[in-house]
Amino acid sequence: MPKIPVQFRHNGRDVAIFVDGGTNLLVALRELIGDMTPKFGCGQGGCGTCSVLIDGELHLSCLTLAETVAGRSIETLDGMKQGPNLHPLQRAFADHFAAQCGYCTPGMLMAAKALLDRNPAPSRAEIVEAISGNICRCTGYEPIINAILAAAGGRASA
Amino acid sequence: MAVIVKTFASASEAAGALSSDRGARYLGGGTLVMRALNEGDVSVSTVVRASDQALTRIDASGPRVLLGAGVTFARILAERDLAFLHAPARSIGGPAVRNMGTVGGNLFAPTPYGDFTVALLALEATVAVQGGFGSRDIPIEEFLQARDRQAGTLVLSVSCTRPASSEAFRYRKIARIKPKGGSVITIAAHLPISGGRIAGARIAFGSMAPTQIRARAAERALEGRSLDVGTIAAAASAAGEGTSPADNALGSAWYRREIVGVHLRRLLSGQE
C-alpha cells in the first residue's frame, strides 16, 4: 500500500512525513518526527496524555488521523519552552509539585495552555473543567489545579 | 494494520463509497473510528471521509434547528442560539473530545456514551441520511432501532424543533466522575405545556437499553396532566417499565433500575 505524504507545521517548523493509511497523529509525531513529548496512554480518548494543540485547539493526537492535519499547525509540549527558559506553566508545575510520575504532565500542560491562551484568568472551576479530559493517578489533581492558578496569576492555596 | 483512506469532496460520493464496501467506516471526529483502529479492529479496512462544507453547517436562526453531522460539541457550545443543547453538549468528554466529537458520530456511540443522542431523542429529531440510492429523512427513534444496520449509510444532518421555553426541555446525566465520566444513566425530558397541562411529553433514557430509548410509560403518566408532585411521582414509578439496562463497570442493571425513577423525579421537580 503506498505511503501518504503529509506536510504540516510542528512547533513552528515545517515538516513533511510519509504515513501508512490509518496512522494516527501520535504515532506520526513520536515515530516519524521524533517528538516524544506526547505520550501513548489508552489509545481510546480516555486519558488525555496524548493531547496536542491543532491550530490552537486541544485535540487527542491518538484519535486524530495523521493525514487530516495537512497544512495545519501542531503544538506539542516540545515547543512550549521559550528558548532556554521554561514556559510559566512548566515553571508553576515544578514549583507546585504538579508532576509525580510525570506521565500525564505533557497532556495536562497542553490542556492548561489551551485554557490560558483563550482565558488568561480562569476560575478554579474553569481549570477543573479544562483538565477534565486528562487523568492523573498520582497527584490527586490539587497541585495541578494550583499550578495552573499560579501560572495564571491567581492565588494558589498550596 | 494499514487501512485505505478515501477522502471525497461531496457527501454523496462518500456515501457511495460507504455503501459499496462492507469494511468501510465513515470517519467524523475520530473518537469512535480511530479508537477502533487503535484497538486493532480488523473489520475496518477502509476509512471514508468527506470535506463537504454542508456537513459542518449549523442553522439555528429559526424554530427548526439543523445541525450538520460533522458539527462538533465545542461548536454547539459556542452558539448562543443553541443554548437548549448546551447541557447535553457540555456533559460529553473533556474539552479535547468536545473539539473532536460530532453530532453524527454520537448517533453511533455505544453505551455508556451517546448522551447527545438522548437529548435529540427527547426532542424527536429527524436524521437525514444518504445511502447508495439517494437521501431520506428518518425519525431518530426509527434510526436508533435499526442502528446496527446503518453502517452503510452516511448521516448528513439532524434537525429538531426548538423547545418553546428553557423550562420545557431538561437534561440530566448521572456519572460517577465529575465533570467528566461515562453515563450511569442519561435522561432528557421535553415537556411542552399547553393550558397548564403537558401536551406531547417525551422522555428519553441513555444506558437503560442497548440503544437510547423513549420511556413511554413515564410519558403516559405525564401526558395531559399538570406537572405537580402527584404526576411526577407517577412518572418516576413508571420510569423503569420497558427498560433493559445492562451491567457494566459504571453500574449494574439492578442499580440502574433502582435509581432511574429517583433521577427522573429530581429532573422533573427541578432539583439539582
- Are A111 and B96 within 8 A, CB to CB? yes
Grid cell, residue A24, equals 494516527
HSE-up of A86 (CA within 13 Å, CB side)? 10
Q: How far apart are CA B229 and CA B251, in angstroms?
A: 28
In a domain, A157, yes or no: no
Q: Which residues of B touch A109 (CB under 8 A)?
A: none
In a domain, A102, yes or no: yes
Same domain for A94 and A45: no
- B9: CB partners within 8 A, 6+ apart: B50, B51, B52
> B31–A59: do the CB atoms touch at under 8 Å?
no
Q: What dihedral angle (degrees, nearest 10) is formed by the CA atoms of B80, B84, B90, B95?
A: -30
The size of chain B, in residues, is: 272
- Are A24 and B38 within 8 A, CB to CB? yes
Q: How far apart are CA A23 and CA B5, in angstroms?
A: 10
Report percent pLDDT > 70 for chain B: 100
DSSP string over B159-200: EEEPPSSGGGEEEEEEESSSSS--EEEEEEEE--EETTEE-S
Count other Cβ atoms within 10 Å, centred on residue A101: 10
- Domain residues for the domain of A113 are 88-151
Q: Which residues of B touch A24 (CB under 8 A)?
A: 34, 37-38
Grid cell, residue A83, equals 528558548
Domain-by-domain residue ranges, chain B?
4-50, 53-161, 173-268
Give the amino acid at A97: F
In a domain, A82, yes or no: no
Grid cell, residue A29, equals 509525531
Gyration radius (Cα) of chain A, Å: 16
- B69: CB partners within 8 A, 6+ apart: B28, B55, B102, B103, B104, B105, B154, B155, B156, B157, B158
In this prediction, residue A157 carries a pLDDT of 46
Angle at B178 between CA A111 and CA B215, to 5 degrees: 125
Residue the block writes with cell 438522548: B118
Average pLDDT over residues B98-104: 98
Which of B30, B74, B96 is the closest to A51 by Cβ?
B96
Q: Tens digits of per-residue pLDDT, A36-85?
A: 999 999 999 999 999 999 999 999 999 999 999 999 999 999 999 988 99
Which is the CATH superfamily of the domain at B173-268? CO dehydrogenase flavoprotein, C-terminal domain (3.30.390.50)
Return phi, psi of residue A137, to 5°.
-100, 0
Q: Which residues of A touch B179 (CB under 8 A)?
A: 128-129, 132
Q: How far apart are CA B189 and CA B166, in angstroms?
A: 11
Instruction: Tell whether the model's pLDDT for residue B69 goes beyond 70.
Output: yes
Give the amino acid at A74: I
Give the amino acid at B132: G
- Measured in angstroms, the CA of B242 and the nearest CA of chain A are apart by 31
> CB distance from B55 to chain A under 8 Å?
no
| Boundary (domain end) residue, out of A20, A44, A77 | A77
In a domain, A137, yes or no: yes
> A133–B96: do the CB atoms touch at under 8 Å?
yes
Same domain for A97 and A73: no
Same domain for A8 and A73: yes
Which residues partner with B12 through β-bridges? none
User: pLDDT band for position A146 (50/70/90)?
Assistant: very high
Q: Which residues of B touch A4 (CB under 8 A)?
A: 5
Q: How far apart are CA B150 and CA B189, in angstroms?
A: 26
Number of domains in chain A: 2
- Chain A and chain B share a number of CB contacts under 8 A equal to 88
> A43–B35: do the CB atoms touch at under 8 Å?
yes
Give the chain B residue whose CA is nearest to the CA of A20.
Answer: B2
Which residues partner with A7 through β-bridges? A16
CATH architecture of B53-161: 2-Layer Sandwich (3.30)
Better-scored residue on pLDDT, A147 or B152: A147
> CB distance from B3 to chain A under 8 Å?
yes
| Boundary (domain end) residue, out of A77, A111, A130 | A77
Q: Which of A55, A60, A109, A136 has the highest number of chain B CBs within 10 A, making it the mutation to test binding with B?
A: A60
Same domain for A66 and A11: yes
Q: Tens digits of per-residue pLDDT, A125-143?
A: 999 999 999 999 999 999 9
Q: Tens digits of per-residue pLDDT, B172-214?
A: 999 998 877 899 999 999 999 999 999 999 999 999 999 999 9
- Are B100 and B72 within 8 A, CB to CB? yes
Instruction: Tell whether the model's pLDDT for residue B58 goes beyond 70.
Output: yes
Instruction: Tell whether the model's pLDDT for residue A155 goes beyond 80.
Output: no
- B271: CB partners within 8 A, 6+ apart: B265
In this prediction, residue A154 carries a pLDDT of 54
